């Protein structure tokens, strides 16, 4: 609060002291954006955003607002929202909320897409460094986000997954990296996942590779 009062006192003094006919350049330079700090964005997306935000360097900080920035990041698929905090006289902090990639989808033509948690599908040619499970099934992309968020509520480790397969009857299979296959029912699949987590590491179940929960109130193992 004291800092704000000091700043506005300084500003009032500045505006009442200077001869504006001779000091326009000074005022313009003093309140032009010189520094931008970005928070909450991954390195891979930060470079692209930094490049776009260079357009506000030199702009008057008083006229900078949320709408000014929307046009800069609106075509960036990974940016969910962005907030601006002005640090007068010439510094801007940008706080970013990203849409997180949760899977990789490959269509029938071999085109690769990143699936985001907000249900977006982003075409991506080079996915070599993306350590994400593959998502299989023609209608999988449009159904995966809700499925992922529901499973996420359990203690299920997504890092153990090789792929998720979606079937048009409305259910999923999960193939783990250790080749264990979990067949889920269309409904109440979260309950099935919780049951799997309870039993799969017990001695009596370690040798099994198939855990089939498709029949209500039954578990078939092989």
Residues 6+ apart with CB under 8 A from 185: 171, 192, 213, 214, 215, 216
What confidence score (pLDDT) does residue 110 get?
Answer: 84
Indicate the SS3 state at residue 175: strand
**Backbone Cα Rg of the chain:** 26
Dist. CA 169–CA 136, nearest whole Å? 14
Q: Are 107 and 173 found together in one domain?
A: yes
Indicate the SS3 state at residue 86: strand
1: in domain: no
What confidence score (pLDDT) does residue 78 get?
Answer: 82
What confidence score (pLDDT) does residue 48 get?
Answer: 83
Give me the residues paired with residue 134 across strands.
Answer: 104, 163
Domains in the chain: how many in total?
2
Residues 6+ apart with CB under 8 A from 35: 90, 91, 92
What's the whole-model pTM score? Answer: 0.74
Q: Which one of 79, 98, 117 terminates a domain?
A: 98
What confidence score (pLDDT) does residue 7 get?
Answer: 53
Q: Are 20 and 123 found together in one domain?
A: no
Q: Are 87 and 148 found together in one domain?
A: no
What confidence score (pLDDT) does residue 34 get?
Answer: 92
> Which residues of the chain are modeled with pLDDT < 70?
1-27, 44, 125-130
Range of 133's domain?
101-221
Q: Which one of 74, 98, 122 terminates a domain?
A: 98
Identify the CATH number of the domain in which residue 111 sits: 3.40.50.11690
Q: Are 113 and 202 found together in one domain?
A: yes
Identify the CATH number of the domain in which residue 69 sits: 3.10.20.310
What confidence score (pLDDT) does residue 140 get?
Answer: 96
């Amino acid at each position: 609060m004291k800092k704000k009062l000091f700043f506005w006192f300084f500003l009032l003094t500045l505006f009442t002291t200077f001869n504006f006919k001779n000091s326009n350049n000074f005022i313009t330079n003093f309140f032009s954006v010189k520094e931008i700090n970005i928070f909450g964005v991954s390195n891979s997306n930060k470079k692209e955003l930094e490049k776009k935000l260079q357009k506000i360097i030199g702009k008057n900080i008083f006229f900078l607002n949320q709408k000014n920035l929307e046009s800069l990041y609106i075509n960036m698929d990974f940016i969910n929202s962005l907030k601006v905090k002005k640090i007068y006289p010439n510094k801007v902090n940008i706080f970013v909320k990203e849409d997180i990639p949760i899977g990789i989808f490959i269509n029938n033509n071999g085109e690769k897409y990143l699936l985001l948690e907000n249900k977006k599908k982003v075409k991506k040619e080079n996915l070599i460094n993306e350590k994400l499970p593959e998502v299989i099934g023609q209608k999988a992309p449009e159904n995966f986000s809700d499925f992922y968020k529901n499973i996420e509520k359990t203690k299920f480790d997504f890092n153990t997954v090789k792929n998720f397969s979606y079937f048009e009857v409305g259910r999923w299979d999960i193939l783990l990296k250790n080749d264990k296959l979990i067949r889920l029912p269309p409904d109440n699949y979260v309950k099935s996942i919780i049951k799997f987590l309870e039993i799969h590491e017990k001695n009596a179940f370690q040798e099994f590779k198939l855990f089939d929960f498709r029949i209500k109130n039954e578990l078939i193992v092989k």
